[in-house]
Amino acid sequence: MAAALNRALADALSADERVLVFGEDVGPLGGVFRVTDGLAERFGERRVFDTPLAEAGILGTAIGMAMNGLRPVVEMQFDAFADPAFEQITSHLAKLRNRTAGALSLPVVVRIPYGGGIGGVEHHCDSSEAYYTHTPGLRVVTPGTPDDAYRLLRDAIDSPDPVVFLHPTRRYGATGARAAGGPALDRALVRRPGRDVTLIAYGPMVLTALETAEAARAEGWDVEVVDLRTLAPFDDETVCASVRRTGRAVVVHEAAGFGGYGAEVVARVTERCFHHLHAPVLRVTGFDIPYPPPMLEEHHLPGVDRILDTIGALQWDDRVEVRGA
């Protein structure tokens, strides 16, 4: 996935001279995760460059550049590192088009590595997606597979709207062939068809959901996996079509459950699919605590067993017994 993101940035820089890449350590170092490796050498320090450790300044600079016709792609390095730039993102980046009645657009991509599973300490592992999806005026995107990482980042850079692009850090090493074509930026994708239950996931949980679907075969469940890809705007059509087919749904994400993004997904699915549901829509999430220390992460992050147990609780009547009962 890291290589796919690197290729997307390189191709965007080659295709459009207005594209700039900057942020913390993205220049000669090539980024903490080497996502920008070689770009500064190839495109020069006027287009790929390091900034001071000042996230509000990075975003403020990007906003000014975009107002004057450039297309900045900035990196926040880690999820919680973006918090000092939150006011710039929510008060200005998200609102300027509305504030100017459409006269100005801000084609800025804010790249934020997020999520756990890398053994990071405080501020290095977090899941802040709900903050951004709750802000009208932002597109919020997160890839679950390497092929989507390339496709979504290219689409995000081409978008006239500001995009918060969340990189799932635990999946940087995920491999897979780069697929041609694919759905648009704001569309979800059925990763695996199934008949009995829909698993709705995004970002780092997509591969976990696919692993769960394979394991569920031994339990007698045929699981469909939907990758949301874009969290805002939400693709009601694809998600609800899947849930109406299967009649059951489970939403999976790493972030804490209370007030989390999954609550919005549950509400939307319930409102639109109520008469097709055989059981309430359930969630599997991180616990309502800050991300724990590295030695405890495995207990906090949703895994195959927790998801299977939740599927088993979906009121199957006598056809399938609850797992472990």
Q: Which residues are known catalytic residues?
A: 124
Asked if 149 and 4 touch (Cβ cutoff 8 Å), the reply is yes
Could you give the CA distance from residue 256 to residue 61 in angstroms, rounded to a whole number?
A: 32
Asked if 203 and 168 touch (Cβ cutoff 8 Å), the reply is yes
Could you give the CA distance from residue 281 to residue 268 in angstroms, rounded to a whole number?
A: 10
The two three-digit tokens of residue 244, written as one number: 């109406």
Q: Is the dihedral of CA 240, 242, 245, 247 positive or negative?
A: negative
Given its phi and psi angles, is residue 214 left (phi above 0), alpha (psi -120 to 50 degrees) or beta?
A: alpha
User: How many other CB atoms sit within 10 Å of the CB of residue 318?
Assistant: 5
Query: Position 176: which residue type?
Result: G
Where do the H-state alpha helices sit in 109-250?
A: 129-133, 146-158, 205-216, 236-246
| Contacting residues for 111 by C-beta, under 8 A, at least 6 apart | 23, 35, 73, 74, 75, 76, 165, 167
Shortest CA distance to 151 belongs to which of 182, 122, 126?
A: 182
